[in-house]
Structure 1
Amino acid sequence: MKTGYRLPEVTFHTRVRDESVGGPNPFRWEDLTTTSYFAGKRVVLFSLPGAFTPTCSTYQLPGFENGFADFAALGIDEIYCMSVNDSFVMNKWAESQGLSNVKVIPDGSGEFTRRMGMLVRKDNLGFGLRSWRYAAVVNDGVIEAWFEEPGLCDNHGEDPYGVSSPETVLAWLRDAAKVEAA
């Protein structure tokens, strides 16, 4: 369990849209840190094996995107999707998914994922190093709740999904809100 754990401080190399750049690819580099993303906010962070992969693109990401209002009603300021993919891939995936609520975080080198203890080998699928699937509720950089798929290991033969689903995280937030209100 990582509840109570402070997120590791790393720098993420992102590409952000900037119309002043001009041309067909109006993006510039912008380095953002863990603090940039998480300080002073209560967020849901979910991490997955890869952009454009079936479970991630069909269930997990759309579920968080479409459920954003429900999360916001329970005190969530932002929802972040992280993967061990570079910013170019994450931005293109966000565009292809039509995201307006979930923000993507590129962990291109896997440094954040490694320091979280969630970096696994997926050589059996030709992916190399990737994130194990998990989600967390993070309050001001500290993990409030942790949702890790079972079987964390290198070259897992399956892609477990359920524990880190939007439905599971939302159910936890609803239960926590009831306890807090009581």
Structure 2
Amino acid sequence: MQVGYKLPQVTFKTRVRDESIEGPNPFRWEDKTTNDYFAGKRVVLFSLPGAFTPTCSTYQLPGFENGHADFAAEGIDEIYCMSVNDSFVMNQWAKAQDLKNVKVIPDGSGEFSRRVGMLVRKDNLGFGLRSWRYAAVINDGVVEAWFEEPGLCDNHGEDPYGESSPENVLSWIKKANAEAAA
């Protein structure tokens, strides 16, 4: 992925709350597109190997959630967390993490991850195809900055984390904003 790259057009299969539906599962299917998430906004997107996994649940997702105000102060409209998990899993993970600020995007079939070159095999962990860990600043659907963990490959023996951390992404945004203002 390169700076200046326009995100691929993908349709995401989401489940959204619908109060008109009675019963214990008041959700309906709603297709969302790349444009729905990214058009006309400056956002942070971060993607990770899987919902409910240790690094993702302990550091990366909570870091972005807790740092939301700092990102907003720097002109970030939304923060999105993507994973190659279905909408049911992503919604339950968001609920378990008590998310108020970060929005989850289910890349259930891995189509978006594949088209941005981040789909890898994680068979060594029993995951199958998953996203490599990365983050990006996206401005109106175009990559402004890219933060990819080192060692992109199938069945990597470790789970590198640092480049795509909220602290690293926020530091870059602050620097870029300061340079733009100068």
| Superposition deviation, residue 110 in structure 1 | 0.2
Partner of 2:5: 5
Q: Distance in 1 between matches of 2:17 and 2:27?
A: 4
Q: Deviations over 1:104-158 (max 9, x none)?
A: 0000000000000000000000000000000000000000000000000000000
Q: Percent identity, aligned pairs only?
A: 83
Code of the residue aligned with 2:114 in structure 1: it is: R
Q: Distance in 2 between matches of 1:180 and 1:11?
A: 33
Give the number of equivalent residue pairs. Answer: 182
Q: Distance in 1 between matches of 2:106 and 2:2?
A: 21
| Superposition deviation, residue 103 in structure 1 | 0.2
Where do 4+ consecutive residues of structure 1 move more than 3 Å?
A: none
Partner of 1:68: 68
Partner of 1:127: 127
Partner of 2:161: 161
Q: Deviations over 1:65-118 (max 9, x none)?
A: 000000000000000000000000000000000001000000000000000000
Q: Distance in 2 between matches of 1:78 and 1:95?
A: 18
Q: Secondary structure at the match of 1:21?
A: coil
Pairing 1:53–2:53 present: yes
Q: Secondary structure at the match of 1:3?
A: coil
Q: Distance in 2 between matches of 1:178 and 1:36?
A: 29
- Which structure 2 segments of 5+ residues have no match? none
Partner of 2:22: 22
Code of the residue aligned with 1:12 in structure 2: it is: F
| Superposition deviation, residue 181 in structure 1 | 1.5
Partner of 1:112: 112
Code of the residue aligned with 2:3 in structure 1: it is: T
